[in-house]
Structure 1
């Protein structure tokens, strides 16, 4: 049975700081040749985008709302299977994210790289967008085409606040990617650290 982390923000921060360097070293093994690390935002060509994608790209929440009242579907895809929510999260437009969620978008839709909007928000380190998604039921355990979850990217970029936010929402800490990024040693250390935080007397 998978170990699920649901710790307080303070304990999550302590836990992540203690393991960050070890995890980042392990995570780097599988990421060094990945273009996504060098340029996590989407390569946008206007001719490939629908109207709702264009409005989301520039952060025009009012236009998004107007388009949704017309014939535009909130889950329309572009040539790379990206929804407007993917675009808004990649470029850090929380007002657009809220407008799309209120328009009942598919929050866990995947693009051609199997990235959800949450994975994309974390890749681009857009914490406000990621937080909105999590608070509205986004699944933090869906992995992309490389087998990487949002937590993998948060840890790789040393973004402890994003990683802690994921831990608050019961992210699976045992998910492994194609090169087994999260080793059993890390899971063991997480478990021990969590238990120690709860009851330090056990490890004296």
Structure 2
């Protein structure tokens, strides 16, 4: 983690500055957990899978169709609450996803960590799988994760600009506030690095009409947060958006 604890001998101003830096770094590190909390099947879990979970992980479409015809439970859960659709999404087995949905599998279920397939694909920056899920009717509007976030917030956090574009077009809520009191626009600033990927992400959100006046728990708007971090291009984007 960046940011050192204040050392003895520093003046009052330096101590205060060091404390603020350390607390901000701690908060940012903790706030990265929403994306990191996703847990795909381990190698051991995958090896132990049977039935539809095994077929989904391997992309065995013929087996999926046979099991579906035999009335297997299309929404069966593994030990972490993952359905075969979740497993196929983690494994990027797009033919398996399509076969499961065509057979009647529910497309918007949450696993134990409260992630749906859309958020799983979004965090993985898997644009092709996300495109398929959305074309099959998956929702971009669900509240997901222990942080009461959305796929859009998770993607904005990570600077997955192409994913953000897809989710915005699919009607993802631009101004959803998670339980950290952050929107997608705020996360693009406070959890981004100010670089091209997060700039492109923020540009999409601004152009889509995200509310730039919503504030974090400390009363800061995205513009104030970008200024405090010296993110010049983000400041320009937010000032232009504010002027509209």
Q: State the TM-score, normalizing by the size of structure 2.
A: 0.60
- Is 2:59 the partner of 1:59? yes
Q: In the alignment, which residue of structure 2 is the partner of 1:78?
A: 78
Q: Please list every run of 5 or more consecutive structure 2 residues that lacks an aligned counterpart in the other structure.
A: 1-24, 188-202, 210-239
Taking the TM superposition and a 5 Å limit, the aligned residue runs for 1:1-204 are: 28=28, 31-32=31-32, 34=33, 36-37=35-36, 41-44=40-43, 45-46=45-46, 49-142=49-142, 143-182=144-183, 193-194=207-208
CA 193–71 in structure 1, closer or farther in 2 if over 3 Å, else same: closer
Distance 1:76 1:59 in 2: 17
**Cα deviations across residues 39-81 of structure 1 (Å, max 9, x unaligned)?**
7533351476341011111222222112111241211111221
Q: Is the 8 A contact 2:164 2:204 kept in 1?
A: no
Higher relative contact order (CA 8 A, sep 6+): 1
Distance 2:121 2:206 in 1: 30
Post-superposition CA distance 1:84-108 (Å, at most 9, x none): 0001111111101100110111111
CA RMSD, aligned part only?
Answer: 3.3
Structure 1 residues not aligned, in runs of 5+: 1-24
Between Structure 1 and Structure 2, how many residues are aligned?
173
